[in-house]
Amino acid sequence: MKGGQKTSRRWTRHDTPPSTRKPCTIAETDPYAAYLVSLHASGLYNRRYGWFGLSPVDWTKIGPHGRALLAGQRQFRAALVKTASPEVMEFEATWRNYMLLETFDYLSLLTCYGFHSTGCGPVPTVEGQWEQLSIRRLGTWAVELCPFPFAADELVVDVKCVDIEQARFDSDEDLREQVVSAHPEIRRTTYRAGVSRGCPAVRRN
């Protein structure tokens, strides 16, 4: 991927057996973060548990690897719950944090991949309040958000990216080698408040 345009077919989760190594590695230092990452992995195959904004995976096409991933992640989370206090795993807080994870994942993919989307949600704002975030694309690496969830009226992030021409990869290691050997570039990503449409600012605590 380069400049938000597709230069080759992306390596997708359907090309090789899914990996559960990332949540397991995170669990060594932060079990709660690992729990959320595990929910994210499972949510890719389960319509993100009600969060919307990205095209859902067709359940009929996930195959044995996808079903094995879901079963393994359920067992992984069940084991994590046994080691955590009830306060940490409280449902409302966990649900809120999962929705925030999906939203920030969406915002990063929105500019890096340049796909078309008009919004996402539900997005937690202040306590007890959820919003639908509307999107208007201003350019390949710039979008307008309404309501705007960050301080000030603009957030600028420099993103390191690489352009990989190879169409398919044999394994995680093959993909990793291609990324490491590629020449990195810095792309400036801009998120702007939707003031042009009179969008209200998100009330912050």
Is residue 15 within 8 A of residue 173, CB to CB? The reply is no
191 exposure class (CB count in 10 Å sphere: 0-12, 13-18, 19+): buried
CA 43, chain centre distance (Å): 10
Q: What is the pLDDT of residue 97?
A: 92
Is residue 190 within 8 A of residue 142, CB to CB? The reply is yes
Q: What is the pLDDT of residue 199?
A: 66
Alpha-carbon distance of 97 to 55, in angstroms, equals 21
Domain boundaries defined on the chain: 21-197
Q: Is the dihedral of CA 153, 159, 163, 167 positive or negative?
A: negative
Residue in this structure with the two tokens 């998120």, named with its chain if needed: 191
Residue in this structure with the two tokens 């912050």, named with its chain if needed: 204
Q: pLDDT digits over 102-133, tens only?
A: 999 898 888 777 678 889 999 988 777 888 99
Partners of 191 in the β-ladder: 143, 155
Alpha-carbon distance of 13 to 54, in angstroms, equals 15
Q: What is the pLDDT of residue 23?
A: 67
Q: pLDDT digits over 134-153, tens only?
A: 999 998 889 999 988 888 89
Q: What is the pLDDT of residue 75?
A: 93
The pTM (predicted TM-score) of the whole model is 0.75
Q: pLDDT digits over 25-52, tens only?
A: 788 788 888 999 999 988 888 888 888 8
Q: What is the DSSP letter of 117?
A: -
Residues in the chain: 205
